[in-house]
Structure 1
């Protein structure tokens, strides 16, 4: 019988083993839509199930800047900094370990996507993207451009993480579908410094492309912004 989900915590447990890669995640937007867990279940890898908050799970659209990716702790010049947009789901495996499942990870470095895809199996793809930030008397704004997605936010005040923020952002692993089953990749970082954010513009087709048509036609059920964190990853292990 599958184990119950592990407790939620805003603080990462220690990272096991040696560091596979380090990454700075910067200027990150969280946009989420609540859905019935049954809608998400067919998209999850073997030996995982939808993680739920109340009786709902979430589909996320998360654009951000990747800065200073390393292999081990060795910097990757030029190719280690790029834009990324991912579509993600929330999972629990049979041992009760919570994680993220990436439906897609689009990056704007053509040579990066096949290398990372080969290393950990996650569905990286190449796409042209843009990011801009500006400010005026109404406040700071950020804009993320992708051929299939445009997001523009007005940033608000810093906020204390809500229980839903913790559920969606305090994720210390990814579950990755592989040919021979599912792997589990741990990460650790400080708690996200979150800000309120208002959606000024949203024209997205990435979420529909990944199997959830019509979802982004309605406003997100959760929106947040973060200036970022530094993250470390350990090597994948089999679920």
Structure 2
């Protein structure tokens, strides 16, 4: 069980807090991938995180709410939006387990250059919609505006009862930072949040161009889908890898 222990709680986040936000109505869809096929997508100094010989790719649509910069407080209007991420799982030589983003689609154009500058992550601009339907159904829609206009993603899931995550699901969802190239250097951006309250979800519809566009090819069946009402997350200062 030692390889799972890092997921049990977020390490203490050293001040200052750079970014504060809420992740709401989050769906997690995952597939296994062969680690050797994705190594080229990782920044220098980190590599695919592997468990039992496999790494994974995630399709994660959600609402981002009440984002704020440092002590400035919440950002009106621009601090709340829909988002869909394609993400991989990373580890560096210091043993920090995080994520690497292939793409992050957002409906707020103004967020794209700001997030690329501050966090070095590949935000893109899309037309998006997240809405709840009767019977515990959540539907996420995205159509890319820039770059690679026209790429689309539609996910519809039905939320069922709460579940205890398996060790693998904890490994996938409890990630305490990201690796990204910021100002020419690979950096670790730490974050902290409470454990995810997770529910099992049934996929009713999945039509997605974003995963294929990332260049990542799954090598096995999709894992069970998960959904969460969300958590509050805080980000610390980026740290350069040695």
Scaled by the length of structure 1, the TM-score of the pair is 0.92
Aligned positions, number: 231
Deviation at 1:181, TM superposition (A): 2.7
Q: Deviations over 1:79-133 (max 9, x none)?
A: 0000000100001101111110011111100111111111121111111101111
- Partner residue, 1:183: 187
- Partner residue, 2:232: 230
Q: Deviations over 1:10-46 (max 9, x none)?
A: 2111101200010100000000100111112111111
Q: CA RMSD in A?
A: 1.8
Q: Distance in 2 between matches of 1:199 and 1:5?
A: 29
Deviation at 1:54, TM superposition (A): 1.1
SS in 2 for 1:15: coil
Deviation at 1:161, TM superposition (A): 1.7
Cα pair distance change 1:6/1:178, threshold 3 Å: farther
- Partner residue, 2:130: 131
Q: Distance in 2 between matches of 1:115 and 1:69?
A: 13
Asked if 1:143 is matched to 2:139, the reply is yes
Contact 2:117 2:182 in 1 (8 A): no
- Partner residue, 1:198: 202
Q: Distance in 1 between matches of 2:3 and 2:123?
A: 28
SS in 1 for 2:212: helix
SS in 2 for 1:8: helix
SS in 2 for 1:132: strand
Cα pair distance change 1:28/1:81, threshold 3 Å: same
- Partner residue, 2:173: 169
Deviation at 1:141, TM superposition (A): 0.4
Contact 1:5 1:98 in 2 (8 A): no
Q: Deviations over 1:37-65 (max 9, x none)?
A: 11121111111111112111101100000
Deviation at 1:7, TM superposition (A): 4.1
The answer for unaligned runs of 5 or more in structure 2 is: 144-151
- Partner residue, 2:146: none
Cα pair distance change 1:204/1:15, threshold 3 Å: same
- Partner residue, 2:91: 92
Following TM superposition, the consecutive aligned residue runs of length 4 or more in structure 1 with deviations greater than 2 angstroms are: 4-10, 177-181
